[in-house]
Amino acid sequence: MRNIDKIIKISTLLMFCFYLNWFSNDRNYINYDAIPYVASAFLVQNSDVDEAFKYSWGLLKKTVDKNIYQDLCCANDYRKSMSADKSAFESHLPSYQTKSGYVYMIRFASDLMSINEYDAIKVISQIASLLIVILLAMSFFREHLAIYLSIFPILVLLEILQLSRLMTPDALIGLLMLISAYLLSKNKLPIAYSLLISSILLRQTNILFVGILSFIKLYKKQYLSFCVLSISALCIYGLNSFYFSSLGYWKTFHSSLIYMPNTFVNYNPEFSFEIYMKLLLDKFFWILSDTYLSKLITVMGINIAMGIFFLRSKFIKISYFGKLSLIFSLGTLAAFVLIPFPDFRIYAGPLIASSFLILKAIAKTKNLQPN
């Protein structure tokens, strides 16, 4: 590799990481989801819900200025209920506690670094985002300069900047998915499977990716692998849902896409397939027509098309990259069909993994071309 290429690559990486860090900290920002995550992390070491309620809102009041606090506590009826009614706040906690891997990570980071939980959440998002950039740079450092440089606009398209600022598990999911994709591409299957199964503890719908892998094993008549993967994932999913009193699929769907109640106490909407189909189509066409959100459908479509293209390659390794990319991109599509959240960050993690594998296939194709 020419020295000039190395200098360009290292310089670009350093500048991008510097900008990512600046973007993450350029203003005092806390999204509402951080509050129940802080309460959930508090409950790891103290099971008193009253104390968790007081602690999360009290710490927020000390952490942010009056305008931000006023917005988070009182911008609408839902937030007013969450900040004033302990029972209503408690009824919503299972939505956050079922992301138990993330909650325990917050607890661990807060205790390890002796910082409050809000700061711990920020650190987790920023470190996870930086590691995604660094791991991608390391993976493509020996590739052609154009391929290496392409990872940065791709990451911007996949909202790495927003993930680094958001106080949600999405950056951590992206990191876990990327590592899993890398390990799968290197045939480090047991570790990759373990990471994918553990990702269920960051968001329960991540079981879909393990499910696709399981069905591939079943199709190949690898029955033992199918059973181990399926049972392990279902056990983790079931135990996590039971222990943290998961709201269940339809309550999550209904509250996220139809009506967010001020409290989940006695909230039990009746399932309707007709409503589900109507909402799915409405959200799809709404997202497709929205300038910002339409890139979700666009990126999913491109990744699926590219995955199919490389899957059909006569070169085994390229075909393998195509197959792996489809696991993540089709899993993303399945997650969208299950609950069509109009929010790109929900799907960013697996799309980062899928894009990494597609770029690997492109790099492999380039290496096969005569100089």
Tell me, what's the pLDDT at 58?
A: 93
pLDDT value of residue 29:
82
d(CA 83, CA 76): 11
Alpha-carbon gap, residue 326 to 301, rounded angstroms:
11
Q: What is the model's pLDDT at position 370? A: 54
Question: What whole-number distance in Å separates Cα of residue 214 and Cα of residue 217?
Answer: 5
Per-residue model confidence as pLDDT tens digits over 315-366: 999 999 999 999 999 999 999 999 998 889 999 999 999 999 999 999 988 7
Structure tokens that stand for 166 in this block: 């958001």
Close Cβ partners of 64 (under 8 Å, ≥ 6 residues apart): 28, 30, 72
Instruction: Write out the DSSP string of 81-117.
Output: HHHH-HHHHHHHTHHHHTSHHHHHHHHHHHHHHT--H
Count helices and strands (H / E) in the chain. 20, 0
CB 60, CB 114: distance < 8 Å: no
Question: The pTM is what?
Answer: 0.94
Catalogue the long-range contacts made by 2-7 (C-beta closer than 8 Å, 24 or more residues apart).
5/145
Report whether 116 contacts 59 (CB < 8 A). yes
pLDDT of 262 reads 84
Cα–Cα dist 151/174, whole Å: 15
Give the pLDDT confidence score for residue 27 in this predicted structure: 77
Q: How high is the pLDDT of residue 256? A: 86
**Spans of the chain below 70 pLDDT:** 1, 369-371
Domain definitions of the chain by residue range: 3-27+125-246+290-368
Of 319, 328, 334, 322, nearest in space to 348 by CA: 328
Are 40 and 169 in contact, with CB atoms under 8 Å apart? no
Location of structure tokens 């968001």: 203
Farthest-apart Cα atoms in the chain, separation: 68
Q: What is the mean pLDDT of the chain?
A: 92
Q: Which residue has the tokens 């973007």?
A: 23
DSSP string of 120-157? HHHHHHHHHHHHHHHHHHHHTTTS-HHHHHHHHHHHHH
